[in-house]
Structure 1
Amino acid sequence: MASLRQLEYLVTVVDEGSFTKAAEVLHVTQPALSHQMRALERSVGGPLLERLPRAIRLTPMGRAMLPHARAALADAERARCAARQASGLEHGELQIATVYSVSLGVLPPALRAWRRERPGVDIRLFEYRHADELRDAMLAGEADIAVGPPPQAWDGPMWTLGIEEFVVVLPADGATEGDDGTVDLATLADCAWVHYAPGNGLAEIVDQACGAAGFRPNAAVRTEQSATAPILAAAGLGPALVPANVIPPRFDGRVLLPKEPIRRELAAYARAGADPVTAGFVEVLREKACVLPAHVKKLLSHD
């Protein structure tokens, strides 16, 4: 069975790109490092690294093992931190992974409430462009908890946060087909849209929604940042489809609901049973997460 030390050696060799540099980082001799790597390879039944003249290269077995090695080391570090927190030796850190739009619209109220309750626990935020990247990061053990669209076939614990509503943003004087606060996306087929950069998860949502309305959106401009899209749309560059929770207060644009609702489920999920700090954050998150802000509800109200 592989030891944590051997897994640490494997990860360091890969990250440093050579046994010599890895030995320096680990403060061990190169023969000792090589001995431990050979022992690890014997325990798993095959070579993990290919030794080239000027570099090292992962074998297929090595590529399969590396993410699990990183995850095991991350779990061990969190276990160490949890034990030290319980003994009062340190305040600790909560690592949260999410997607761009959620860090902008959903998380801030929860993070503010958490900071008031646990001022001694620092927060480290990891942001990803796509829900698939978020899931892969969690599988690799890069954070304590993820907040975003729920992944399929997730083996660990998951907590539902709510349903995120998407809205169309136009200039305040933008023409629409009616005054009921809704818009048929098909009526915007000839417009040049404020779109998202390829690889951003919101780009897929826009393409799918417009495809369901019978057209492919032509992009006037593409942005990586969720906060930028409604601002550009309000400035007249084209309609934008955005999560309702990213609309800022005192917004100058016109906010409309699509006639055919466009929604996304949001959840928090972890790799294993939540430690007390993570479980405490989930409670705050489920109470304070801002899936649909009050000021956006007012914009969408037409009573």
Structure 2
Amino acid sequence: MATLRALECLVALVDEGSVTKAAGVLHMSQPALSHQIAALERELGTPVVERLTRGIRVTVAGRAVAEEARVALAAASRAVQVGRRVGEGVGGRLRIACAETMTAWLLVPVLRRWRTHWPEVRLDLMEFTSADRMIEYLMGDGTDLVVGPEPTATSAHVDVLGREEMVVVASPGHPFADRASVAVEELAGEPFVHYDPENGMGVWIDQFVATRQTDLTVVLRTRSPRTAAQLAGAGMGVTIVPVSALAGRPSALVRRLEPRVHRDILAVTMVPSDALVRRFIADLRRRGLPKVNTATGDRPGDRPAAKE
């Protein structure tokens, strides 16, 4: 296949009209340029220049090839520019997979900043309800970065962004309103909004209550912690959610667990040296996890919650 250097030599010959001038423009020797042209002619099976007593003349085939060569050289130049901008972290495409509760709670301010400061970076966002499923996507090259709770296992590079508290959610008129916190044992006998087994929260809660020898009375299941919070707030039962599930400010009673329980929030990637990935993780670290009033589910700056 013809090399870009050979095509560049042909275009220079067309533009300059002589081997001497073309070689000078390309900062190469005349023999080196002639070698590139000869290699191109062997590849094409036809001459691209005619050697005259005084100088050269580009053939019809040579001019036709040169026209297409200009397109290829322009594309190659754009490719190099794109590569440089991506390497500098100001261009390219970043694919992000996140737990669905992370979007509004953690990512929106960072995504907004990127759209403002680095508009040439294309951001693709995929939401999941399973940390393990996100890791499968990462290992299959379906995403560049995973943001969410700890998966069952991973061999990828992990950065801990912070710790997120787990809380109890119930309807506003629930008896838990008289308490500052709720022990796991107090959930026994309460109608409980649980999670689909495909959601890591379901597995985590089963293990969590088992260590405290508590049985739950499951009335329905969902894959979404945000939906679980809304269902509990509507009086369908009580549930346990991460505080990130409260970003939509559901009309619900929110109480801490006693003792308090937290989970790590991670940024996971296969290529930590990638400029875009590195910069995005740095921005997440710089911003930190939002501070939440676990008595109301509000973040600082939110509108005052309605009285219970």
- Is 1:92 the counterpart of 2:95? The answer is no
Q: Secondary structure at the match of 1:259?
A: strand
Which letter maps to 2:265?
A: L
Does residue 149 of structure 2 align to residue 149 of structure 1?
A: yes
Paired residue secondary structure (2:164) = strand
Aligned to 1:136: 136
CA distance, structure 1, for counterparts of residue 155 and residue 197 of structure 2: 29
- Please state how far the C-alpha of 1:142 moved relative to its aligned partner: 1.6
Q: Mind listing any 5+ residue stretches in structure 1 that lack a counterpart?
A: 1-78
Structure 1 residues 283 and 226, CA, compared in 2 at 3 Å: closer, same or farther? same
Task: Write out per-residue CA displacement over residues 34-81 of structure 1, whole angstroms, 9 at most, x where no aligned residue.
Answer: xxxxxxxxxxxxxxxxxxxxxxxxxxxxxxxxxxxxxxxxxxxxx999
For the structure 1 residues 248 and 136, does the alpha-carbon distance in structure 2 shift closer, same or farther, using more than 3 Å as the test? Answer: closer
Segment drifting more, 91-100 vs 291-300: 291-300
Post-superposition CA distance 1:268-297 (Å, at most 9, x none): 121124222221111111123535436867
Residue of structure 1 equivalent to 2:275: 276
Equivalent residue number for residue 235 of structure 1: 234
Q: Aligned pair in 2 of structure 1 residues 117, 300: CA closer, same or farther (>3 Å)?
A: closer
Match of 1:197 in 2: 196
8 Å contact from structure 1 (residues 114, 284) kept in 2:
no
1 CA distance for matches of 2:247 and 2:156?
34
Aligned residues: 221
Tell me, what secondary structure is at the counterpart of 2:165? strand
Match of 2:162, SS state, is strand
Corresponding residue for 2:120? 120
Q: Relative CO higher for 1 or 2, CA cutoff 8 Å, sep ≥ 6?
A: 1
Cα contact 2:291–2:299 (8 A) shared by 1: no
Residues 197 and 222 of structure 1 are in contact (CA less than 8 Å); yes or no, is this contact kept in structure 2? yes
Q: Which moved more, 1:256-265 or 1:204-213?
A: 204-213
Compute the displacement of 1:140 (Å).
1.7
Superposition deviation, residue 164 in structure 1: 1.0
Q: Does 1:173 align with 2:184?
A: no
Q: Cα–Cα, structure 1 residues 212 and 300, in superposed 2: closer, same or farther, change >3 Å?
A: farther
CA distance 1:216–1:271, shift in 2 (3 Å): same
Give the secondary-structure state (helix, strand or coil) at the position aligned to 1:125.
strand
The separation in 1 between residues aligned to 2:129 and 2:297, in whole angstroms, is: 29
Could you tell me how far 1:149 is from its partner in structure 2? Answer: 2.7
State the alpha-carbon separation in 2 of the partners of residues 254 and 264 from structure 1: 21
In 2, Cα distance between equivalents of 1:140 and 1:206: 28
Moved more, 79-88 or 260-269: 79-88
Give the partner amino acid of 1:217.
L
Question: Hey, what's the Cα distance between the residues in 2 that align with 1:249 and 1:223?
Answer: 17
Partner secondary structure for residue 111 of structure 2: helix
Contact 2:86/2:92, CA 8 A, preserved across alignment: no
1:67 aligns with none
Decide whether aligned partners of structure 1 residues 86 and 168 sit closer, same or farther in structure 2, where only a CA change above 3 A counts.
Answer: closer
Would you say the 8 A contact 1:162–1:291 is kept in 2? no
Q: 1:96 Cα deviation (Å)?
A: 0.8
Q: Aligned equivalents of 1:182 and 1:241: distance in 2?
A: 12
RMSD of aligned alpha carbons: 3.2
Q: TM-score, normalized by length of structure 2?
A: 0.62
**How far apart in 2 are the matches of 1:236 and 1:243?**
19
Q: Is the 8 A contact 1:150 1:269 kept in 2?
A: no
Aligned 8 A contact 1:158 1:267 in 2? yes
Structure 2, unmatched stretches of 5+, are 1-78, 301-308
Per-residue deviation, 1:144:
1.3
Within 5 Å, which residues of 2 pair with 1:193-232? Answer: 193-232=192-231
Relative to structure 2, which stretch is displaced further, 90-99 or 158-167? 90-99
The Cα of 1:226 is off from its aligned counterpart by 2.2
The residue type paired with residue 292 of structure 2 is P
Percent identity between the two aligned chains: 28
